[in-house]
Structure 1
């Protein structure tokens, strides 16, 4: 269905020259020339906290399946999809482990935004394509904050799609001490999370019976066991030399990533500006697990009455829709891309 290639990209000196890990997916059935005058699209996907870049693969697989089943002349066609690890997650977390052991506070959403800008300036993205970026959870903060530094007419994205955006208004932020949001409890739970198993098979068996993994699509769980875990020993556990596996993103790193609550406020304010500049699609589940209804309301308020912005609420979906229902999410993302096509067609009439 598609071919994948791994890339390693050196980061900027101001971010301690961390190494960024990327995966490029391209349809094996041909490039842009196959689709004539179709608009070529490069998709970029940004994952959430505690996962890894490959968590997006089931979504990408289904997007390519939808595309192969319904190519339309003049439609926007995906010619490639890029996924990138946070530098303390997945393969990147393994590569950068010594750095984060010394500097556990070294990654936040603003640094993630600079990571995306480094990637966009690397020349890796296929030339002459429109870039659509899709972020999930904390990845939505990284996505939105990556637009800082560009002038309004030079924004790198033709559309931004935000899945369960982890943003909040100033009013919600101001009341956290008396009205805690779910992510506060998640930050504490992460610190005590089980993180050592005797084998990948044992880890798979344990994860499939415990939350949140027990609700995941089987393919998503398999990918987590493959890429979200790593072999022992590690820099954190150098004494565990008898085998087994642990988390690629350590508990300490995951917990720290949840602490950047001011970034949630800053991203919402940046989103307010972006809604007047480029198309924005926000996708929520109606089951408020991590992103509370009050947090969702802040995004709804920002998007309301903005011609470039839309919000979609999926019944029966929760915060981890990427892992729980990747096919349904892919269908929703495809609809957003078709909406772009329809808007472009109308603008040309």
Structure 2
């Protein structure tokens, strides 16, 4: 089930990146105010993995919010959760259809993360600001914290792409993610799509609600009456080829004392 956002924002990508003048990002804010007098405001920014989109994390966000609300120390806290789609994923991909740039890199996503923070004034308007990133999104947050120390008060990084060496191109070209260039990306309808995915071990590991959101909100209806992935597989398969430098920098970031404190 999708969480209905309190507000939706369409913002430009970071001005230091290619595509700054035409590409957009879709950002959603979910506000969960205290039911009593509020003494503080905390913001959590969720950034998704490659090939996914913000709605896949809604079941986690809902349970996370409920868990915080069950703790007395958060009784007087306004909790705001922000989730967004990187420029070639989810709703952002639909806005940017036909505008894909081969120069797009993981660094661009790190800067787009900063753009979300700046546009929504997440540093200025909250007592605490915490980043929650998964894989591609986690690495982007680590990069951002390295370039702009103290951006986050804390980071929760799930499966960040870290490496202490450069991965050979041949290895990256034969990786599971790169192999997605041959995978199916169009189905007659959402029911057939879900049946198809459930035949594969990778997707069977997903929580049913997360998979349902992937199918319902990661696809769009075509003019031919079919459904198709919002994130084109041609875009998704480029990301492993541009991962070595970000993964090295993120690995070095974890050894930096200043960043270590943000990563706790």
- Shorter-chain TM band: 0.7 to 0.9
Alignment-derived partner of residue 192 in structure 2: 202
Q: 2:263 aligns with which of 280, 283, 286?
A: 280
Distance 1:149 1:278 in 2: 15
Per-residue Cα deviation, 1:137-177 (whole angstroms, up to 9, x for no partner)? 11111111122443x4xx2211011111111102xx26x47
- The runs of 5 or more residues in structure 1 that have no matched partner are 233-240, 282-349
Indicate conservation of the 8 Å contact 2:138/2:157, yes or no. Answer: yes
Considering only aligned residues, what root-mean-square deviation do their CA atoms show, in Å? 2.5
Alignment of 1:319-330 (within 5 A): none
Displacement of 1:97: 1.1
Distance 2:74 2:25 in 1: 36
- The alignment partner of 2:36 has SS state of helix
- The alignment partner of 2:81 has SS state of strand
Distance 2:257 2:228 in 1: 39
Displacement of 1:40: 2.7
Larger relative contact order (CA 8 Å, sep ≥ 6): 2
Q: 1:158 aligns with which of 153, 158, 165?
A: 153
Displacement of 1:248: 0.8
Alignment-derived partner of residue 110 in structure 2: 113
Q: Structure 1 residues 276, 22: closer, same or farther in 2, change over 3 A?
A: closer
Q: 1:24 aligns with which of 10, 21, 29?
A: 29
- The alignment partner of 2:214 has SS state of helix
Name the TM-score, length of structure 1 as normaliser: 0.67
Distance 1:71 1:109 in 2: 39
Alignment-derived partner of residue 7 in structure 1: 9
Alignment-derived partner of residue 82 in structure 1: 82
- The alignment partner of 2:138 has SS state of helix
Displacement of 1:269: 1.4
Alignment-derived partner of residue 48 in structure 1: 49
Indicate conservation of the 8 Å contact 2:14/2:114, yes or no. Answer: no
Alignment of 1:205-284 (within 5 A): 205-232=195-222, 241-260=223-242, 261-273=244-256, 278-281=261-264
Distance 1:111 1:274 in 2: 25
Indicate conservation of the 8 Å contact 1:131/1:158, yes or no. Answer: yes
Indicate conservation of the 8 Å contact 2:220/2:229, yes or no. Answer: yes
Displacement of 1:68: 2.4
Per-residue Cα deviation, 1:114-148 (whole angstroms, up to 9, x for no partner)? 11111221144371321100111111111111224
Q: Structure 1 residues 275, 12: closer, same or farther in 2, change over 3 A?
A: closer
- The alignment partner of 2:126 has SS state of coil
Indicate conservation of the 8 Å contact 1:35/1:73, yes or no. Answer: no
Indicate conservation of the 8 Å contact 1:36/1:73, yes or no. Answer: no
Alignment-derived partner of residue 135 in structure 1: 133
Displacement of 1:91: 0.4
Indicate conservation of the 8 Å contact 2:131/2:155, yes or no. Answer: yes
Distance 1:73 1:62 in 2: 15
Indicate conservation of the 8 Å contact 2:146/2:259, yes or no. Answer: no
Q: Does 1:188 pair with 2:188? A: no
Displacement of 1:54: 1.4
Name the TM-score, length of structure 2 as normaliser: 0.87
- The alignment partner of 1:34 has SS state of coil
- The runs of 5 or more residues in structure 2 that have no matched partner are none
Q: Structure 1 residues 274, 41: closer, same or farther in 2, change over 3 A?
A: farther
Displacement of 1:278: 2.2
Alignment-derived partner of residue 65 in structure 2: 64
Distance 1:226 1:89 in 2: 14
Distance 1:197 1:20 in 2: 26
Indicate conservation of the 8 Å contact 1:87/1:107, yes or no. Answer: no
Per-residue Cα deviation, 1:95-119 (whole angstroms, up to 9, x for no partner)? 101101xx2x243211011111112
